[in-house]
Amino acid sequence: MNEALKNPPNPAFIARKPQQQRAKDRVDVVLQEAEALLLESGLSGFSIPTLAERLEYPRATIYKFFPTPYALLNELAERQLATLEEHLAGYAEQLAVAKDWQELVTRMVYAASDFYVKHPAAQVVLLTGPISDASFRSLEVTITRLGAMTRGLLAERGIVVPEDSPDIAALAVEFGTASFRMSYFLHGRMTPEYTQAGADVMLAFLAKRLGLKLG
C-alpha cells in the first residue's frame, strides 16, 4: 500500500455524515454558505463562529457535523473533487474526436481549467495547498484517478502508458495541476497563459517518458 495511505486521517478533520434528510439539507446550506464566505474572505477569514453568525445558527449546529474548520473545508474539497471528475467525464465525447494525442491532452487541460473558472470556490480549497492530511489524500487520489482516465484515453489512440512506478499518467496530471496552482497564486484565477502552460508541461513530460513526437 502507498505509504501516504497507511495511517488513517485525524477524525477531527473528517465531517460526520448526516443520516436524516432534514440534517442533510442543513449541511448543504452550511456548505453553500461556507463557499460564499471563502470567496469573500479567503482561508484567513474563514471560521465556524463567523459562519454560524452569517447563518444565524447556533455554533453547536455546525460543530455537530464539522468538529473543526478543517473538517468543513475537507468536505468542501471532497465535493469539489468529485465535481471535477464528473466535469471531465462530461468531456469524454469531445476528447474522443481530438485529431491526435496532443490535442486530446490539451483539450483535457482546458476542460479542467474551465471547471475552475465555473467553480471559483474550488480554486480556494483545491489550489491553495493541502488543508490537512485528509485533503492531501483526497487530492492525490483524485489526481491518480484522472491519471487513469488519461491513460485510458491514450490507450484508445494506441499509446500505452505503463502502470508501474513511477505513475507517468498521474505525474502528468500533477504537473498540469501545478500550473493551475501558480495561476491562482499569481492572478487569483485561471489565465489562458497558465492553462496552456499546463498543457505544454503535460505534453512535454509524456512525450519524453513515452518516446512520442511533438508536432
What integer pLDDT is reported at residue 7 of this predicted model?
A: 61
Half-sphere exposure of 154 (CA within 13 A, CB side): 25
What integer pLDDT is reported at residue 1 of this predicted model?
A: 41
Q: Is 99 exposed, middle or buried (0-12, 13-18, 19+ CB in 10 A)?
A: exposed
The predicted-structure confidence for 140-195, as pLDDT tens digits, reads as follows: 899 999 999 999 989 988 999 999 889 999 999 999 999 999 999 999 999 999 99
**18 CB contacts (<8 Å, ≥6 apart)?**
24, 26, 27, 65
What integer pLDDT is reported at residue 131 of this predicted model?
A: 72
Distance CA 183, CA 190 (A): 6
**Helices (DSSP H) in the chain: which residue ranges?**
21-41, 48-55, 59-63, 69-89, 92-96, 101-118, 120-126, 133-155, 168-187, 192-210
Segments of the chain with pLDDT less than 50: 1
Give, in words, the CATH class of 17-65: mainly alpha
